[in-house]
Amino acid sequence: MRKICKVMLNDESFPAYCGDLLLDAALMNSIDLPHDCRSGICGACRVRLVKGRVFGGQEDGDEMINACQARIISDIEVVTEPVPDQVSISARVAAIVRLAPDVVGVDVEVSKLLRYLPGQFCKLQFHGFPPRFYSPTYPLEARPNNRLVHFHIRRFSDGVVSSELGRDIRVGHRVRLTGPFGSAFLRPNHAGSIVLASSGTGFAPMWSVAVGAIMERPQRELIFVVAAQKLQSLYMHAALCRLALFPNVTIIPIVSEPQSVSPAIRAGRPADHLPVLSPSDVVYAAGSPAMTERVARIARAAGAKCYTDPFTTNAKSTEQERFVQRVTGWLNQPGRNFQTVAS
């Protein structure tokens, strides 16, 4: 006879068989737990494990678990955080601009206001194409418009969706936007510093978190580590220059290719240039899974809270498809608070 466990989700309790997936158990008991992909990728069903044990759906030392992958093996207590309700909105492409050789900016005009927290992401389905996950972000230069949602999309030459931006997918193309999803969103009202790390188009959600953090508490220390493969891929330089004008903000740009433009641009990986962390700090990271995992390990070792959004790329060989989930001189100007490396 299978053992029955007690599950406490927020203020509701329900029984579940030992070995059941947490998401399935919740849904079987008419508990509406947000979810989407059911494969542990989208993060829509992530909850915080307060007590008890689960098998799967969790990285070592991480209190956040994917309910669709976590199997109940004891009495447990989990909590969700208040987030905007998920909605499905009709929209159309309002603009497509080239931000970098491999990055396209896409503005989507929505039929009604989309509420999301800085750092969350959405599912976009361009009419006639399969859905993809991308992170809405704050405008790089202009003021925000409630009817426009901005995305930074990495283009793959053989991508089923991204390669068609500006070709079959043009201004006016119909879009279905669903969301928001994700748990790597800005947590307000904490005492310590905020540390952001991004690689590639992981900049998009981290830029939203940076703007939200500055608007909440301009005096709080914020350190933003921004990585790109090539110098040309630092498409966000104008936005970073504005952000660096705040006295408590430090920008650490990184490129993989050798360069001699400025000593402010470092080499290496984002995790190599994180500041010394303390338990009062909160860390956010978005980009390649290797980067986000390494940043999370460093944060956990320091006792700091860490929220990550790994951008996973899956190749679908039958279609030769790149599947991108949630799927990136000016430095030396006076007044820019960029951290340089001593020679």
Query: How far is residue 335's CA from residue 171's CA, in Å, rounded to a whole number?
Result: 38
**Local confidence band at 40 (pLDDT 50, 70, 90 cut-offs):** confident
- Find, among 40, 87, 30, 17, the residue nearest to 314 by Cα: 40
Hey, what amino acid is at 191? A
Say how many C-beta atoms besides its own lie within 10 A of residue 203's C-beta: 31
SS3 124: strand
Q: 194-199 and 222-228 as β-strands: parallel, antiparallel, unpaired?
A: parallel
Buried b (16+ CB within 10 A) or exposed e, 221-246: bbbbbbbbbebebbbbeebbbebbeb
pLDDT classification of 313: cutoffs 50, 70, 90 = low
pLDDT digits (tens, 9 = 90+) for 191-248: 899 999 999 999 999 999 999 999 999 999 999 999 998 999 999 999 999 999 999 9
pLDDT confidence band for 260 (50 / 70 / 90): confident
How far CA 205 is from CA of 14, 50, 68, 305, 327, in Å, comes to 35, 27, 24, 17, 11
- How many CA atoms does the CB half-sphere of 260 hold within 13 Å? 0
H-run or E-run covering 298: helix 289-302
DSSP class of 56: S
Element (H, E) at 33: none
4-79 with 194-332: one CATH topology?
no
Segment 131-190, tens digit of pLDDT: 999 999 999 988 899 999 999 999 998 899 999 999 999 999 999 999 999 889 999 888
Q: What is the DSSP letter of 230?
A: S
Spatial distance between the Cα atoms of 183 and 174, rounded to a whole number of angstroms: 28
Pick the CATH number of 87-181 from 3.40.1280.10, 2.40.30.10, 3.30.565.10, 2.60.40.10: 2.40.30.10
pTM score, two decimals? 0.81
User: CA-CA distance, 343 to 339, in Å (whole number)?
Assistant: 13
Contacts (Cβ under 8 Å, ≥6 apart) of 318: none
Say which CATH class 194-332 falls into.
alpha beta
Least Cα distance to 199 among 221, 230, 222 occurs for 230
Q: Report the pLDDT averaged over residues 10-31.
A: 94
What are the structural domain ranges in the chain?
4-79, 87-181, 194-332
Q: What is the DSSP letter of 190?
A: -
More confident: 11 or 288? 288
Domain range 4-79, CATH class: alpha beta
Cβ atoms within 10 A of the Cβ of 147, count? 15
Distance separating alpha carbons of residues 1 and 266, to the nearest angstrom = 60
Three-state DSSP at 118 gives coil
